[in-house]
Amino acid sequence: MGRATTAYLLTCAAIGVATGLLIIPATAFSTATYATLPPVSALVAGAWVIGFVVAMRLIERPGAAVLTGLISGLVATPLSTTGPAIVITNVMFAAFIELPFLVTLYRRWSRGLYYAGASLLAAFYAVWTVTAANMQAFPVWVVVLYVVALFASELGAVALGLVIADRLRAAGVARLARRRGNAARGLGRGAGPAGQH
Protein backbone atom coordinates (compact mmCIF):
# COMPACT_ATOMS: atom_id res chain seq x y z
CA MET A 1 0.00 0.00 0.00
CA GLY A 2 1.55 3.32 -1.05
CA ARG A 3 2.00 6.33 1.18
CA ALA A 4 -0.68 8.25 -0.73
CA THR A 5 -3.22 5.44 -0.26
CA THR A 6 -2.39 5.12 3.44
CA ALA A 7 -2.66 8.88 3.91
CA TYR A 8 -5.97 8.89 2.03
CA LEU A 9 -7.45 6.18 4.27
CA LEU A 10 -6.12 7.75 7.46
CA THR A 11 -7.42 11.18 6.50
CA CYS A 12 -10.90 9.82 5.74
CA ALA A 13 -10.79 7.88 9.01
CA ALA A 14 -9.88 10.96 11.04
CA ILE A 15 -12.61 13.07 9.45
CA GLY A 16 -15.05 10.17 9.78
CA VAL A 17 -14.40 9.83 13.50
CA ALA A 18 -14.87 13.56 14.05
CA THR A 19 -18.07 13.51 11.99
CA GLY A 20 -19.37 10.50 13.89
CA LEU A 21 -18.84 12.26 17.21
CA LEU A 22 -20.61 15.33 15.86
CA ILE A 23 -23.70 13.51 14.63
CA ILE A 24 -24.29 11.56 17.85
CA PRO A 25 -25.77 14.59 19.67
CA ALA A 26 -27.26 15.90 16.41
CA THR A 27 -29.15 12.64 15.93
CA ALA A 28 -30.43 12.70 19.51
CA PHE A 29 -31.60 16.30 19.10
CA SER A 30 -33.21 15.65 15.73
CA THR A 31 -34.99 12.54 16.99
CA ALA A 32 -36.33 14.38 20.03
CA THR A 33 -37.75 17.30 18.04
CA TYR A 34 -38.61 15.68 14.70
CA ALA A 35 -42.22 14.70 15.42
CA THR A 36 -43.27 17.82 17.32
CA LEU A 37 -40.99 20.63 16.12
CA PRO A 38 -39.88 19.77 12.57
CA PRO A 39 -38.32 23.16 11.72
CA VAL A 40 -36.19 22.99 14.87
CA SER A 41 -35.03 19.46 14.07
CA ALA A 42 -33.99 20.60 10.58
CA LEU A 43 -31.50 23.08 12.04
CA VAL A 44 -28.99 20.32 12.77
CA ALA A 45 -29.28 18.59 9.39
CA GLY A 46 -26.04 20.21 8.29
CA ALA A 47 -24.12 18.24 10.91
CA TRP A 48 -24.12 15.29 8.50
CA VAL A 49 -22.77 17.37 5.62
CA ILE A 50 -19.79 19.21 7.10
CA GLY A 51 -17.47 16.20 7.37
CA PHE A 52 -18.26 14.92 3.89
CA VAL A 53 -17.55 18.33 2.37
CA VAL A 54 -14.29 18.61 4.31
CA ALA A 55 -13.21 15.17 3.09
CA MET A 56 -13.98 15.88 -0.57
CA ARG A 57 -12.49 19.37 -0.55
CA LEU A 58 -9.39 18.41 1.42
CA ILE A 59 -8.55 15.23 -0.50
CA GLU A 60 -10.20 15.73 -3.90
CA ARG A 61 -10.25 12.02 -4.67
CA PRO A 62 -13.09 9.66 -5.64
CA GLY A 63 -14.85 7.99 -2.75
CA ALA A 64 -13.61 10.37 -0.07
CA ALA A 65 -17.08 11.45 1.05
CA VAL A 66 -18.60 7.96 0.93
CA LEU A 67 -15.70 6.38 2.84
CA THR A 68 -15.92 9.15 5.43
CA GLY A 69 -19.67 8.55 5.64
CA LEU A 70 -19.16 4.83 6.24
CA ILE A 71 -16.60 5.42 8.99
CA SER A 72 -18.67 8.13 10.67
CA GLY A 73 -21.69 5.82 10.70
CA LEU A 74 -19.71 3.00 12.29
CA VAL A 75 -18.34 5.38 14.91
CA ALA A 76 -21.79 6.75 15.73
CA THR A 77 -23.64 3.43 15.81
CA PRO A 78 -22.99 2.44 19.46
CA LEU A 79 -24.26 5.77 20.84
CA SER A 80 -26.78 6.76 18.18
CA THR A 81 -30.48 6.78 18.98
CA THR A 82 -31.11 5.18 15.58
CA GLY A 83 -28.59 2.34 16.00
CA PRO A 84 -27.00 0.70 12.93
CA ALA A 85 -29.40 2.57 10.63
CA ILE A 86 -27.11 5.58 11.05
CA VAL A 87 -24.55 3.84 8.82
CA ILE A 88 -27.01 3.69 5.92
CA THR A 89 -28.07 7.29 6.50
CA ASN A 90 -24.50 8.57 6.56
CA VAL A 91 -23.43 6.69 3.43
CA MET A 92 -26.55 7.90 1.62
CA PHE A 93 -25.97 11.53 2.64
CA ALA A 94 -22.30 11.29 1.67
CA ALA A 95 -23.25 9.85 -1.72
CA PHE A 96 -25.37 12.92 -2.44
CA ILE A 97 -22.42 15.19 -1.68
CA GLU A 98 -20.20 13.12 -3.96
CA LEU A 99 -22.72 12.65 -6.78
CA PRO A 100 -21.99 15.90 -8.71
CA PHE A 101 -18.28 15.00 -8.78
CA LEU A 102 -19.08 11.51 -10.04
CA VAL A 103 -21.19 13.04 -12.83
CA THR A 104 -18.16 15.09 -13.91
CA LEU A 105 -15.97 11.96 -13.60
CA TYR A 106 -14.05 13.72 -10.82
CA ARG A 107 -12.52 16.18 -13.27
CA ARG A 108 -14.05 19.29 -11.73
CA TRP A 109 -13.81 20.36 -8.08
CA SER A 110 -15.58 23.72 -8.12
CA ARG A 111 -17.44 25.07 -5.09
CA GLY A 112 -20.72 24.99 -6.95
CA LEU A 113 -20.66 21.19 -7.09
CA TYR A 114 -20.67 20.98 -3.30
CA TYR A 115 -23.71 23.22 -3.13
CA ALA A 116 -25.38 21.22 -5.91
CA GLY A 117 -24.91 17.99 -3.98
CA ALA A 118 -26.22 19.52 -0.75
CA SER A 119 -29.23 20.98 -2.56
CA LEU A 120 -30.08 17.58 -4.08
CA LEU A 121 -29.74 16.03 -0.63
CA ALA A 122 -31.96 18.66 0.99
CA ALA A 123 -34.63 18.24 -1.69
CA PHE A 124 -34.60 14.45 -1.41
CA TYR A 125 -34.59 14.50 2.38
CA ALA A 126 -37.39 17.08 2.52
CA VAL A 127 -39.69 14.96 0.34
CA TRP A 128 -38.76 11.80 2.21
CA THR A 129 -39.23 13.18 5.73
CA VAL A 130 -42.37 15.21 5.02
CA THR A 131 -43.98 12.03 3.74
CA ALA A 132 -42.55 9.63 6.33
CA ALA A 133 -43.41 11.84 9.31
CA ASN A 134 -46.86 12.68 7.95
CA MET A 135 -46.05 16.39 8.21
CA GLN A 136 -49.12 17.09 6.12
CA ALA A 137 -50.90 17.11 9.47
CA PHE A 138 -49.02 20.29 10.38
CA PRO A 139 -50.08 23.74 9.12
CA VAL A 140 -48.53 24.60 5.75
CA TRP A 141 -46.31 27.29 7.26
CA VAL A 142 -44.67 24.69 9.54
CA VAL A 143 -43.82 22.47 6.55
CA VAL A 144 -42.51 25.45 4.57
CA LEU A 145 -40.40 26.58 7.52
CA TYR A 146 -39.07 23.04 7.90
CA VAL A 147 -37.98 22.90 4.26
CA VAL A 148 -36.38 26.37 4.45
CA ALA A 149 -34.53 25.43 7.66
CA LEU A 150 -33.38 22.19 6.05
CA PHE A 151 -31.92 23.91 2.99
CA ALA A 152 -30.35 26.66 5.12
CA SER A 153 -28.71 24.11 7.39
CA GLU A 154 -27.36 21.98 4.54
CA LEU A 155 -26.03 24.91 2.51
CA GLY A 156 -24.62 26.61 5.59
CA ALA A 157 -22.79 23.38 6.42
CA VAL A 158 -21.27 23.35 2.94
CA ALA A 159 -19.96 26.89 3.42
CA LEU A 160 -18.47 25.97 6.81
CA GLY A 161 -17.00 22.74 5.47
CA LEU A 162 -15.31 24.58 2.61
CA VAL A 163 -13.78 27.11 4.99
CA ILE A 164 -12.46 24.37 7.29
CA ALA A 165 -11.04 22.33 4.42
CA ASP A 166 -9.41 25.32 2.74
CA ARG A 167 -7.71 26.33 5.99
CA LEU A 168 -6.49 22.80 6.56
CA ARG A 169 -5.13 22.68 3.00
CA ALA A 170 -3.41 26.03 3.44
CA ALA A 171 -1.74 24.57 6.55
CA GLY A 172 -0.49 21.61 4.52
CA VAL A 173 -2.81 19.01 6.06
CA ALA A 174 -3.39 15.80 4.04
CA ARG A 175 -0.94 16.78 1.31
CA LEU A 176 -0.03 13.13 0.69
CA ALA A 177 -3.68 12.07 0.61
CA ARG A 178 -4.44 14.17 -2.47
CA ARG A 179 -3.76 13.08 -6.01
CA ARG A 180 -0.33 14.15 -7.17
CA GLY A 181 -1.62 16.78 -9.56
CA ASN A 182 -3.91 18.25 -6.94
CA ALA A 183 -1.24 18.32 -4.24
CA ALA A 184 1.24 19.99 -6.57
CA ARG A 185 -1.20 22.78 -7.33
CA GLY A 186 -1.68 23.55 -3.63
CA LEU A 187 -3.76 26.64 -3.09
CA GLY A 188 -4.34 27.08 -6.79
CA ARG A 189 -6.57 24.00 -6.82
CA GLY A 190 -9.33 25.69 -4.95
CA ALA A 191 -8.14 26.47 -1.45
CA GLY A 192 -8.04 30.07 -0.41
CA PRO A 193 -8.95 33.23 -2.30
CA ALA A 194 -6.64 32.55 -5.22
CA GLY A 195 -8.22 29.22 -5.93
CA GLN A 196 -11.90 29.99 -5.49
CA HIS A 197 -14.02 28.94 -8.46
pLDDT in tens, the chain (197 residues): 456 688 899 999 999 999 999 999 998 898 888 888 889 999 999 999 999 999 999 999 999 999 999 999 999 999 888 889 999 999 999 999 999 999 999 999 999 999 999 999 999 999 998 887 778 788 899 999 999 999 999 999 999 999 999 999 988 887 776 765 554 444 344 433 333 33
pLDDT of residue 36: 85
Q: Which CATH number fits domain 3-181: 3.30.160, 1.10.260, 2.60.40, 1.10.1760?
A: 1.10.1760
Q: Which of 44, 45, 31 is nearest to 83 (CA)?
A: 31
Question: Would you list the domain boundaries of the chain?
Answer: 3-181
Q: Which of 115, 77, 73, 76 is nearest to 96 (CA)?
A: 115
pLDDT of residue 53: 97
Give the Cα separation of 155 and 18 in Å (integer): 20
- CB-count burial class (<10 Å; 0-12, 13-18, 19+) for 166: buried
Largest CA distance in the chain: 56
User: Is residue 59 a contact partner of residue 17, using CB atoms and an 8 Å limit?
Assistant: no
